[in-house]
A and B are shown apart, each in its own frame.
Chain A
Amino acid sequence: RASQSTIGAFFKKP
């Protein structure tokens, strides 16, 4: 099963 990832898992706060 695939689950939806979020952008925060890849891009961090500077």
Chain B
Amino acid sequence: MLEAKLDAASQLKKIVEAIRDMLGECNIECNETGLALQSLDKSHIVLVSLLLGSDGFSEYRCDRGVTLGLNINSLATVLRCANNDDILTLRSEDRANELILTFEDSKADRISEFNLRLMDIDQEYLAIPETEYAATVVMSAAVLQRTLRDLSALSEAVTIEIDKEGIRFSAEGDLGKGSTHFKPCVDMENAENSINITLSEPVSLSFNLQYFSNITKASSLSSTVTLQMTAGMPAQIEYKLPSGHVRYYFAPKIED
């Protein structure tokens, strides 16, 4: 069986909000090390990989592997019934057909319980290759989100160029073109505003901005985001969690 407790329901609410627009139904695999999810979005452009280590829970118990086949939007609907600071418990018996969620306020004078029906989902898993990326950029998650939102007014695609001078985002559409360039920098007072670039060779890739905008909904999970790119390969975009991560593998646009 699975029994996992979080001190604040907001932790799971934010994670689910970060993936719900891309994923429909998917399996969450639970074992003694924690919860994991790997799923393609409906268009197969983004692969979402979520890891929630058992250390990230205030209490965690899972003696035997459990697969939770869930509709992510149904999970989001139920989670909306929890207050952000409620204590959240997830429970599922071995081979059960439901996930039980309880929400308690800190004084434990209100307890809500919801049972979510589980589904048998025949899901494809892909092998994510171990890769040394040509360029790695760590930057503010909010700044990345803002930059992409601005450029989406111009075009449906963004080109990202990374070289030793910095990272450049550009877009071109019917009304004209625009770009934002960030130089590597260290902000001693607000470390999350630093821009750190590690590079073995310059890279330029283009991406669909609508999907990118869905990815950056994870910005509430972490102050920084790690963007990794290699020419002609999907980008890896990672938001770190206290114990785990949400990673997106994002297929680029390729010149014909």
Residues of A within 8 A of B45 (CB): 4-7
Q: How many residues of B contact A (CB 8 A)?
A: 24
Interface size class of A (residues with CB under 8 A): 10 to 19
Q: Which residue of A lies closest to B159 (CB)?
A: A2
A5-B251, A5-B253 known; A11-B126 Cβ under 8 A: yes
Main DSSP-derived SS at the A contact region? loop
Docked complex Cα distance between A10 and B40 (Å): 13
Docked complex Cα distance between A2 and B256 (Å): 6
Q: Which residue of B lies closest to A6 (CB)?
A: B44
* CB–CB B255/A7 < 8 A: no
Cross-interface CB contact of B125 among A1, A3, A13, cutoff 8 Å:
A13
Cross-interface CB contact of A11 among B43, B127, B206, B254, cutoff 8 Å:
B127
Cross-interface CB contact of A3 among B126, B233, B249, B254, cutoff 8 Å:
B254
Q: Which residues 195-248 of B sit at the A interface, judged by CB distance below 8 A? A: 206, 208, 233-234
* CB–CB B129/A2 < 8 A: no
Q: Which residues 138-179 of B sit at the A interface, judged by CB distance below 8 A? A: 157
A12-B127, A13-B125, A13-B127 known; A6-B256 Cβ under 8 A: no
Question: Which residues of A are at the interface with B, using a C-beta cutoff of 8 A?
Answer: 1-14
Can you list 7 A-B contacts with CB-CB less than 8 angstroms, sorted by A residue number? A2-B256, A4-B254, A5-B251, A7-B249, A10-B129, A11-B128, A14-B126
